């Protein structure tokens, strides 16, 4: 069969493709990644059809592509190649775009580890998105690291244009850098249809003000993943917490913050009033050396708060993650309320447990059969896990009818 006839067959097949997933352990440059996809489609005989890789974008092989997932582990010196390769597959029909493998060189600045890579040209990628006529993405997820400060001004116009053009379409957006909250707050607030957002803020005050804007601009938000960086002086946690309660449609909330203040029964009740449909809750700490003290000095949430959560969300929560304060001997409820639908409890321990057996017995009562307990088990937390297994076995035996 002549190459031209085979090419027509390939085009006919590609026109039927709705989802394309590309995964590679190492892609050294944009050409090898792009060619790898086309080579697979062409039965490893790419040279017969495409003498060079350059004409590939004009071929339009995927006119009906809806979902593109591009996962590559790049060497830092070739990180920009990932976005170049993905640009070859942009199509007006595309609705969901996921890209990972955008990495940078790690550098040390004092107590911080930062990623920096001048070869990652985000501006050109957003320009390619803006130049794709008819493109109306519903989900954009770019997994990478911070943009260089020198690129921010150049990046600004293209990102602002993209967000403006997609304000009535974008449902999910993952931002990989605090630059978005810093420079594009207004544009993000205008995404009126936004349902899911992952965002990074420089500090608690900036995060609180950003969330306040979301309350007015994206009031239908259902899923918020918010990370607050620990590199500035602490601000008021309460301001951020109060702002979050303005998002009344939340079903999933994930917070990674430098510090938390004690929460109790009153807070759990107000959470229930604000988020009656909440099914997924994570409140964890960013650990490490920052603000003058270490993990051992961080305070977590108490078992009183865990008990209150089990009372108010026993029928709705399926996933719960908490930074957990281990000083709990006098705080455990005698008759705790069981989570009826919980599938996963993640605990981030912040110190040794003073009474592993009592905690394990308590957890055995609040966890439904089949629920998993996970965490990074430091100190004597392995004892808690072992005791929990024995206690759950006892409960199963005692609840089995004879």
Are 184 and 162 a contacting pair, CB within 8 Å? no
pLDDT of residue 39: 63
pLDDT at 254: 96
Give the pLDDT confidence score for residue 264 in this predicted structure.
85
pTM of the predicted model over 0.95: no
The reported pLDDT for the residue numbered 310 is 92
- Residue-wise pLDDT for 98-112, tens only, equals 988 765 444 444 444
Q: For the chain, which residues score pLDDT lower than 50?
A: 29-30, 51-59, 75-77, 104-118, 289-293, 295, 398-402
Q: What is the pLDDT of residue 40?
A: 65
Q: What is the pLDDT of residue 382?
A: 87
Q: Can you give the pLDDT at residue 89? A: 84
């Amino acid at each position: 069969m002549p190459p031209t006839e085979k090419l027509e067959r390939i085009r006919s097949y590609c026109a039927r493709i709705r989802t394309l997933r590309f995964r590679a352990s190492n892609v050294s440059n944009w050409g090898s990644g792009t060619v790898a996809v086309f080579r697979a489609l062409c039965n490893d005989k790419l040279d017969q059809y495409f003498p060079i890789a350059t004409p590939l974008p004009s071929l339009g092989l995927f006119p009906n592509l809806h979902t593109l997932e591009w996962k590559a582990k790049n060497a830092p010196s070739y990180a920009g190649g990932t976005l170049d390769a993905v640009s070859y597959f942009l199509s007006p029909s595309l609705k969901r775009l996921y890209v990972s493998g955008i990495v940078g060189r790690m550098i040390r600045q004092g107590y911080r580890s930062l990623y920096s890579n001048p070869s990652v040209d985000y501006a050109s990628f957003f320009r390619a998105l803006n130049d794709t006529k008819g493109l109306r993405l519903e989900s954009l997820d770019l997994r990478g690291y911070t943009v260089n400060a020198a690129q921010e001004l150049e990046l600004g116009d293209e990102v602002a244009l993209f967000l403006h053009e997609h304000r009535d379409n974008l449902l999910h957006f993952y931002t990989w850098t605090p630059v978005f909250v810093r420079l594009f707050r207004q544009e993000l607030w205008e995404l009126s249809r936004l349902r899911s957002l992952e965002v990074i803020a420089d500090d608690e005050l900036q995060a609180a003000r950003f969330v306040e804007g979301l309350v007015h601009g994206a009031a239908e938000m259902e899923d918020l993943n918010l990370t607050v960086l620990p590199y500035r002086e602490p601000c008021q946690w309460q301001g951020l917490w109060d702002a979050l309660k303005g998002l009344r449609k939340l079903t999933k909330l994930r917070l990674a913050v430098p510090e938390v203040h004690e929460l109790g029964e009153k807070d759990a009740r107000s959470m229930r009033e604000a988020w009656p449909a909440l099914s997924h809750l994570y409140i964890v700490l960013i650990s490490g050396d920052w603000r003058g003290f270490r993990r051992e000095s961080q305070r977590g949430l108490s078992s009183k708060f865990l008990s209150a959560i089990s009372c108010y969300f026993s029928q709705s929560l399926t996933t719960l993650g908490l930074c957990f304060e281990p000083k709990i001997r006098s705080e455990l409820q005698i008759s705790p309320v069981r989570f009826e639908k919980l599938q996963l409890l993640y605990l981030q321990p912040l110190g040794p447990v003073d009474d592993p057996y009592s905690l394990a017995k308590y957890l055995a009562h609040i966890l439904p059969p089949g629920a998993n307990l996970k965490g990074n088990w430091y100190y004597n937390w392995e004892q808690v896990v072992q005791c929990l297994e024995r206690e759950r076995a006892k409960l199963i035996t005692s609840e089995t009818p004879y």
